[in-house]
């Protein structure tokens, strides 16, 4: 993959993380293609077998369209979305970005590792989630749009008290 495309995609993902961390969810929604499929399937522990997977696609923690994500984001701006009011402080760390050609000419398959950390209230402990994301990024009029996002958490039992965040 040429360095220019890789750099451009990395900068896009960092900007996305910034918008999420600062709860600029409405601007974040603008980064999503109208036909986005956003999923977070469930990780499980299974025996090692050739070709087997420890992801259960039949059950997800989140499975959303753009309109569903919009409703979720709008809800977080109500006065009584208690999970985020007061808002926890959050950081999305994105690394290990790999870019490959995508299913269409203007699309790329982008895999990245994520580490999400959150600090709630005056709790000294922090919550975290980590794993890998598999995105399809689409170039539309010189802008990147997320056309598909699959979030693979590494934990079979999540150690966050809820999934109010976007990953």
Residue 44 interacting with another protein (CB under 8 A): yes
- Non-local (6+) Cβ contacts of 35 within 8 A are 66, 147
Residue 158 interacting with another protein (CB under 8 A): yes
Comparing CB distances to another protein, the nearer of 96 and 159 is 159
The answer to whether the beta carbons of residues 59 and 41 sit under 8 Å apart is yes
Give 135's DSSP letter.
E
Comparing CB distances to another protein, the nearer of 75 and 98 is 75
d(CA 155, CA 129): 8
Residue 124 interacting with another protein (CB under 8 A): no
Q: Label residues 70-80 b or e (16+ Cβ within 10 Å = b).
A: eebbeebeeee
Residue 51 interacting with another protein (CB under 8 A): no
48 preceded by cis ω (within 30°)?
no
Residue 103 interacting with another protein (CB under 8 A): no
Comparing CB distances to another protein, the nearer of 125 and 142 is 125
Residue 161 interacting with another protein (CB under 8 A): yes
Residue 117 interacting with another protein (CB under 8 A): no
d(CA 40, CA 165): 12
Residue 159 interacting with another protein (CB under 8 A): yes
**Residues lying near another protein in the complex (CB under 8 A):** 40, 42, 44-47, 56, 58-64, 68, 71-72, 74-75, 78-83, 121, 156-164
């Amino acid at each position: 993959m040429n360095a220019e495309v890789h750099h451009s995609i990395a900068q896009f993902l960092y900007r996305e993380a910034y918008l999420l961390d600062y709860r600029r969810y409405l601007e974040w929604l603008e980064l999503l293609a109208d036909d986005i499929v956003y999923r977070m399937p469930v990780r499980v522990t299974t025996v090692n077998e050739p070709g087997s997977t420890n992801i259960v696609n039949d059950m997800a923690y989140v499975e959303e369209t753009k309109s569903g994500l919009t409703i979720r984001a709008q809800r977080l701006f109500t006065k009584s979305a208690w999970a985020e009011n007061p808002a926890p402080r959050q950081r999305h760390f994105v690394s290990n970005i790999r870019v490959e050609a995508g299913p269409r000419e203007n699309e790329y398959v982008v895999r990245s590792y994520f580490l999400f950390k959150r600090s709630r209230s005056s709790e000294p402990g922090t919550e975290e989630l980590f794993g890998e994301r598999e995105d399809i990024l689409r170039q539309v009029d010189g802008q990147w749009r997320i056309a598909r996002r699959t979030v693979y958490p590494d934990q079979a039992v999540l150690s966050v008290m809820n999934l109010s965040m976007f990953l």
